[in-house]
Amino acid sequence: MAGRGTPRDRTVDVVGTFAVHVGRQRLMLRPSVQRVIALLAVHGDLNRVDAAGLLWPDLMPSRGHANLRTVLWRVRHDAPGFVCEEGDVVGLSPDVGVDMLGQREWAWRALSGEDPWIPAPRSVGRELLPGWGDSWLVYPREELRLLHLYALEAAGQRLLMGGRHGEAAGLAITAVNIDPLRESANRLLIEIHLRDGNRLDALRHFRQFRTLLLEETDTDPSPSLTSLVEAATTDLHSTAGLHPNRAAPPRRGRKRGPDSSLPISRNESGTTSQARRKSRS
C-alpha cells in the first residue's frame, strides 16, 4: 500500500528524526499514532494480528487488538489519509512517501552500478529511528545500516575509478562514520587519499584507524592494508620516522598538536629545527 519512488504530498521520515509531513507542514502527533505510522513505514502492510503483536508484545492478543483499533481511530483523526485499511490488512496509503524506501532504491542502484549516477539522499548514513527501543526495529535497523555501508563503499569505489575523488571521499567518510571499525570503509578513504596524492592524509588516517582498532578490539589492521600504506609512504618512513606501525616520540620544547605523529618542522635532510638549535649550542 505504501507509495514508492515519486515525490509525495504526504511523507513519513523514519531515517534519523521521525517526522510526518503534509506538503511543508509537519504534523504534531501523539506517541501512539507515531508508533503505528512508523511501524507501517518500516514493515509495510501488516495483518492486524501481526501489527498488534509487534506493537504490544507483552499484552494478551485481545487487549492488543483493542489498542490497535483505538490507535487507528486516532490516526484517522490526527493524520487523515495516511493509513489504509483493507479487511484484516493495514498499511500506509499508496500516496504516502517513505524516506527509507527512497534510500533502499538508491542503495540497490549503487550496488548494481546503474547509470546515470544519482547522488546519495541527504539522510543516508543516519540510523533508523535512533533512540526508539522497540524490538520490531532491531533487524530492519541492522539491515539498513549494512545496506548503507555496502552501497556507500560501492558508490565511492565507482567515483574513485572515475576520478571524482571529492565525491568519493564524502561517501567514504560517511561509511567510516557509520562504522569506524570497518576496515573496508577505512581502506577506501585511504585509497582515495593516495590516488589524490595526499600521502600524509592517508598515513594519518591509517594510524588513527589502527589506534582505534587496538583500543576497541586489541587487533591490528590486516596485513594487506598495512602493506598498502607502507609501500605508498616508504620515503616518508625513512625521512620522518613515520612508519605505519611506529608512533613518533614527543618532541621536547614543543607543544603536541592534535596529530603529533606528523613532522613539525624539517629541512631537506630531515633534521628538526630543534636539533639544529641544539647542535649550534
pTM value? 0.78
Q: Which three cell numbers stand for residue 106?
A: 538508491
Q: Among 27-31, 98-102, 110-114, 223-227, which is the least confidently predicted range?
A: 110-114
Nearest to 185 by CA among 216, 213, 153, 210: 153
Q: Which three cell numbers stand for residue 236?
A: 616518508
Q: Which three cell numbers stand for residue 33?
A: 499514532
Q: Among 62-66, 70-74, 207-211, 259-263, which is the least confidently predicted range?
A: 259-263
Say yes or no to pLDDT of 260 above 60.
no
Q: How confident is the model at residue 6 (pLDDT cuts 50, 70, 90)?
A: very low
CB-CB neighbours of 161 under 10 Å: 10
Return d(Cα 37, Cα 9) in angstroms, integer. 16
Return d(Cα 190, Cα 184) in angstroms, integer. 10
Q: Among 54-68, 214-228, 256-270, which is the least confidently predicted range?
A: 256-270
Q: How confident is the model at residue 272 (pLDDT cuts 50, 70, 90)?
A: very low
Give pLDDT, residue 160. Answer: 95
Sign of CA dihedral 171, 176, 182, 186: positive
Q: For the chain, state the CA radius of gyration.
A: 26
Q: Which three cell numbers stand for residue 145?
A: 545500516
For 71-83, what is each residue's pLDDT tens digit? Answer: 999 999 999 999 9
Nearest to 43 by CA among 20, 65, 67, 12: 12
